[in-house]
Every structure is written in structure tokens, then in C-alpha cells.
């Protein structure tokens, strides 16, 4: 898969997340992650993993 396709896929996911957040609170700033990037070495992912709440 090309890097451009992966980037576009992330942009589409982010736009979907932004539309969903409107139903709750527009101050929420969604960030789309590839599963491979969501690990303890990423500072934002680390913060989420250590202090975040799981939402179902």
C-alpha cells in the first residue's frame, strides 16, 4: 500500500471522527491512529494508555 493511500485513509478516518464528535462536544479534537503507531513510544498514545478511559 502506498504512503499516499495510507495518509488519505487517515484523513478520511479523522473526518469521520470529527463528524461524530459534533454530537457530543466540539471541543474534542479527534486523532486517528494506525494500530501500529499506537504504542508507548508515541507521547500522545502513551498519555491515552496511562490516563485514558475506555469507552464502549
pLDDT at 1: 64
- 1-56 pLDDT per residue, tens: 677 777 788 788 888 888 888 888 888 887 777 788 788 898 988 988 899 887 76
In a domain, 25, yes or no: yes
In a domain, 38, yes or no: yes
In a domain, 20, yes or no: yes
Q: Give the CA distances from residue 20 to residues 13, 17, 30, 39, in Å, rounded to whole numbers and listed in that order.
A: 11, 5, 9, 24
| Number of alpha helices (DSSP H) and beta strands (DSSP E) in the chain | 2, 0
pLDDT at 8: 84
pLDDT at 3: 76
Instruction: Give the number of other CB atoms < 10 A from CB of residue 14.
Output: 14
Residue 17 neighbours by CB under 8 Å, 6+ apart = 30, 31, 32
Domain count for the chain: 1
Instruction: Give dist(CA 25, CA 30) in Å, integer.
Output: 11
In a domain, 56, yes or no: no
In a domain, 31, yes or no: yes
Amino acid at each position: 500500500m502506498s504512503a499516499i493511500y495510507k495518509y488519505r485513509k487517515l484523513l478520511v478516518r479523522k473526518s469521520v471522527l470529527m463528524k461524530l464528535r459534533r454530537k457530543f462536544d466540539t471541543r474534542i479534537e479527534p486523532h486517528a491512529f494506525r494500530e501500529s503507531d499506537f504504542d508507548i513510544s508515541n507521547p500522545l498514545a502513551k498519555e491515552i494508555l496511562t490516563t485514558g478511559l475506555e469507552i464502549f
